[in-house]
Amino acid sequence: MISQEQGTSTLIGGAAGPGAALVGIDIGGTKIAALLVDGDGAVLGRGSVGAPAALGGAAMADAAATLAMSLAAEAGVSLAAAGVGAAGVIDHETGTIRAASATFVGWTGFALGHELESRLGVPVRVENDVNAFLLGEAAAEGRTDRDVLGVMLGTGVGGAVLIDGELHHGPHGAAGEIGHTPGYSDLVCTCGQIGHLETLASGTSIALRYQESTGAPVRDAREVADRARRGDTEAIAAFDAAGRALALACATAATILDLPCAIVGGGVTAAWDLLEPAIARTLATDSPVSGIPLRIIPAVLGSDAVALGAIETARRALVPAGAR
């Protein structure tokens, strides 16, 4: 166990001095993954464990803390701070979960930040996982945009907004939830409302739309992608509909907030080759009239993005904005 004194003295010495490390923890409904980096960002270790989401918040915090401490012990370093990207609506100031899906038992109201601080003995920052994803991707090598929309196409559709290099949370911590904006179809969304972006653009929806149009059962969007690449016109149409809806949503957000870049991640982007034609066609006809040169690009960090973004939130909490 790392003492509070060690953590504090490291902070006084800098963001992460020699031998001190930052850990980023990606807490999902089925898996908890963690990435350990040194003060220069070099990866010292990584690991994952199953997420005990049905056992409640304390069990999740125990699993996350044990994983983080075991990575630090294996690498022979002490932790300076931890960042977390977690599912649900998060109060990023306190690290408390405000709302979450039913998959997570006892998650709503759970003081995840405080619970992890008491287990790890270091400062902990908690962000929504899509916010963390965007922060990680926007900080990836070669990226320079400071005003970016993030869209996550997974089993659902999540979103996040970066303005002048900082995450925009909104008064309820729910800014950027582009997946549940209306007007894209007449289909019922997972939230119960009609026509949301998610009804066309999530992996679940791509598989459902293909099944509805063909009557052919498919496992998932990956199987639809395989069929599209073999020339199945209904499979191509499902990805076209997803790409067009995605691009329209990005163009709307870009127009409102002057965002020149949208970074798209999540499992569906493995089929970027199938989304891209409709994205390009849509941007050719529906680009922001304000002249914003909107680029819609795929994520590059893969499954590390949330953990890397979580590390970035922890790093930013240690280093004042003026010193970054």
Q: Give the shortest CB-190-to-Zn ion separation in angstroms.
A: 6
Q: Does 256 bind Zn ion (CB under 5 A)?
A: no
d(CA 154, CA 266): 5
3-state secondary structure of 158: strand
**Binding segment toward Zn ion, per CB under 5 A, in 65-73, 177-185, 294-302, 306-314:** 177-185
Rounded (10°) CA dihedral 214, 215, 221, 223: -90
Q: Give the shortest CB-192-to-Zn ion separation in angstroms.
A: 7
Q: Give the shortest CB-49-to-Zn ion separation in angstroms.
A: 31
Q: How many residues bind Zn ion (CB under 5 A)?
A: 4
Q: How far is CA 1 from each of CA 122, 156, 278, rounded to the nearest angstrom?
A: 11, 37, 52
Phi, psi of 281 (to 5 degrees): -60, -40
Nearest-CA neighbor of 242 among 280, 208, 199? 199
Nearest-CA neighbor of 112 among 137, 85, 139? 85
d(CA 316, CA 43): 18
Q: Give the shortest CB-101-to-Zn ion separation in angstroms.
A: 13
Smaller CB separation from Zn ion, 180 or 315 = 180
**Binding segment toward Zn ion, per CB under 5 A, in 179-187, 228-236, 242-250, 310-318:** 179-187
Binding residues among 181-200 for Zn ion as defined by CB under 5 A: 189, 191, 196
Smaller CB separation from Zn ion, 196 or 209 = 196
Q: How far is CA 74 from each of CA 63, 78, 124, 254, rounded to the nearest angstrom?
A: 16, 10, 21, 44
Q: Does 180 bind Zn ion (CB under 5 A)?
A: yes
Smaller CB separation from Zn ion, 105 or 194 = 194
Bridge partners of 266, per DSSP, are none
Residue nearest to Zn ion (CB): 189
Q: How many CB atoms lie within 10 A of CB 80?
A: 29
Binding pattern for the stretch 34-73 against Zn ion, x by CB under 5 A and - elsewhere: ----------------------------------------
Binding pattern for the stretch 129-168 against Zn ion, x by CB under 5 A and - elsewhere: ----------------------------------------
Looking only at the bridges linking them, the beta strands covering 166-167 and 89-91 are unpaired
**Binding segment toward Zn ion, per CB under 5 A, in 16-24, 78-86, 125-133, 175-183:** 175-183
What residues contact residue 302 under an 8 Å CB cut-off, 6+ apart?
none
Q: Give the shortest CB-197-to-Zn ion separation in angstroms.
A: 8
Q: Does 280 bind Zn ion (CB under 5 A)?
A: no
Nearest-CA neighbor of 225 among 244, 213, 238, 215? 238
Q: Give the shortest CB-89-to-Zn ion separation in angstroms.
A: 14
Give 82's DSSP letter.
Answer: E
Smaller CB separation from Zn ion, 96 or 202 = 202
Q: Give the shortest CB-191-to-Zn ion separation in angstroms.
A: 3
Please report, as ranges, the residues that interact with Zn ion according to CB under 5 A: 180, 189, 191, 196
